[in-house]
Amino acid sequence: MSTAPTTSTRFNDRVAAMQPSATLAMSAKAKQLRREGRPVVALSAGEPDFDTPAAIGEAGAKAIHEGFTHYTENMGMLELREAIAAKFQRDNGLAYDPGQILCSNGAKQSIALAIHALCGPGDEVLIPAPYWVSYPEMTRFAGATPVPLPTTVDDKYRVSPEALEEAITEDTRLYIHCSPSNPTGSLYPREELEAIAEVLRRHEHVYLLSDEIYEYVVFDAEHVALASLPGLKERTITVNGFSKGFAMTGWRLGYLAAATEITKTCAKIQSQFTSAPSSITQKAGVAALEMMATDPAPVRAMVKAFRERRDYVLERLAAIDGVRCPTPEGAFYLFPEVSSFYGTTAPSGRRVDTSEDLCFYLLEEHDVALVPGHAFGAPKGIRLSYAASMDDLRTALDRIETGLSALG
């Protein structure tokens, strides 16, 4: 007898309520059209289009050849956690003991662990919007309530201290900070972060989750670690990882650093769910941090390329009537506001009323894949990833320009 699930299978209510990832859905649709022979250019990816630097790959291969292929301790091997502690000291002026650091299968897992360790029914989690798609889903899965804090193009997609102050209630358990941001690329300059910190210091019951995964992808701007601001370290869980800065998305390695009690609680969940990341990946992670400390040229070269692409795409978008986009200082995304095109009709007769309609129009009629803003809690915009070659960016921007100017 078949045991395959049928439509009558009852799933956990929290799973049934979960939204699938819109970014992955758009990439899947783009891939399907490509398989059908369409010349789709995908600007929907959330990963660098660079290969992992050779020295890091070699360290992984060496681990395999030397038989370093067994379980490590659940928190990650001491050598890696010591290297991460040294990185915090060097880059962020933060002193962490290796016992306060937990390595996991990507930053995504670290974020999920922190949210589940701290939040439950009755708790509110403040999430500035546009937000990374997984924060609200993880929050709901933990039984807590996501509370979006909307920001606009005019705010450069940054929360003001006043808006934050107003949103905090006695039920606020966690504030999620992401700088540089996915999906906007926006980065909080030190003065603005200090003003945010001033508010957070007044509300001691609020924990802070600082997602700093784009720390190394910044353009002539200073990345400030939230935990480094006075009075916040004990309540801040800093999450970081190797995926973006070292082009290591497929290796799956991230980490968190927090007060010992919080890290230990996250480690307890990890010990029952997944255990430590791959031993091979951890060796590669040690090599990545060593490279960053001694010769970061491969990372710098990647960031330089991202910057050139950002400037090119911004210039092209600025030339399209009806598109508004702030200049982001980091990551590899732009989040233009495109709501002036809602309520229009394409020459094919297709109506465009939402960010989703606009993305499907551009994909199906102009062969460019972008991600609709509604997935990020910001329905006026769309996300464009410029982690693509200059040739692809030129082609895509020509098509976007043609597609948008045909709407009327």
Ligand X SMILES: Cc1ncc(COP(=O)(O)O)c(C=O)c1O
H/E stretch holding 408 reads none
In the bound state with ligand X, the residue whose beta carbon lies nearer, of 74 and 249, is: 249
Site string for ligand X, 91-130 (x = CB under 6 A): ---------------xxx----------------------
Residues 309 to 328 in contact with ligand X, rule: CB under 6 A: none
For residue 284, what are the contacts with CB-CB under 8 A and spacing of at least 6?
Answer: 52, 56, 57, 59, 60, 63, 242, 248, 251, 253
Of 254, 277, 336, 372, the one binding ligand X by CB under 6 A: 254
* In the complex, least distance from residue 233 CB atom to ligand X, rounded to whole angstroms: 21
Per-residue x/- marks for ligand X, 49-88, CB under 6 A? ----------------------------------------
Q: Which of 137, 211, 215, 356 binds ligand X (CB under 6 A)?
A: 211
For the chain, the distance separating the N- and C-terminal CA atoms, rounded to the nearest angstrom, is: 56
- Give the alpha-carbon dihedral of 184, 186, 192, 196, to 10 degrees: 40
Considering only residues 326 to 385 of the shown chain, the ones binding ligand X according to CB under 6 A are none
Cβ neighbours, 10 Å, residue 334: 26
Candidate residues 48, 130, 241, 336; the one interacting with ligand X per rule CB under 6 A: 241
Q: Which is nearer to ligand X, 77 or 103 (CB)?
A: 103
* Count of Cβ atoms closer than 10 Å to residue 345 Cβ: 13
Enter the DSSP assignment of 303. H
Q: Which of 299, 323 has the CB closer to ligand X? A: 299
> Given the complex with ligand X, which of 92 and 104 has the nearer CB atom?
104
Q: Which is nearer to ligand X, 265 or 281 (CB)?
A: 281
Q: How far is the CB of 215 from ligand X (least distance, A)?
A: 11
Tell me: cis bond preceding 180? Omega within 30 of 0 counts: yes
Name the residue nearer to ligand X (CB basis): 128 or 241. Answer: 241
State both tokens at 147. Answer: 């509370």
CB of 252 to ligand X, least distance (A): 7
Q: Binding segment for ligand X among 139-147, 229-237, 241-249, 388-396 (CB under 6 A)?
A: 241-249
User: How far apart (Å, rounded) are the C-alpha atoms in residues 339 and 373?
Assistant: 10
Residue among 135, 134, 178, 173 nearest 158 (CA): 178
Going by C-beta distance under 8 Å and a sequence separation of 6 or more, which residues neighbour residue 376?
Answer: 129, 130, 131, 132, 133, 183, 335, 383
For the CB of residue 271, give the shortest distance to ligand X in the complex, in Å: 19
C-beta neighbour count of 86 within 10 angstroms: 15
Which of 118, 208, 213, 384 touches ligand X by CB under 6 A?
A: 213
**CA distance linking residue 23 with residue 315, whole number of Å:** 25
Least separation in angstroms between CB 3 and ligand X: 32
Q: Residue 122 or 250: which CB sits closer to ligand X?
A: 250
Sign of CA dihedral 5, 7, 9, 13: positive
Among 52, 182, 265, 355, binds ligand X (CB under 6 A): 182
Report residue 275 as tokens. 């255990």
Task: Name the residue nearer to ligand X (CB basis): 106 or 136.
Answer: 106
Name the nearest CA neighbour of 208 among 306, 91, 119: 119
Residue 21 in contact with ligand X, rule: CB under 6 A = no
Which residue of the chain is nearest ligand X when measured via CB? 106
Nearest CB to ligand X, comparing residues 211 and 367? 211
**Footprint on this chain of ligand X (rule: CB under 6 A):** 46, 106-108, 132, 178, 182, 211, 213, 241, 243, 249, 254
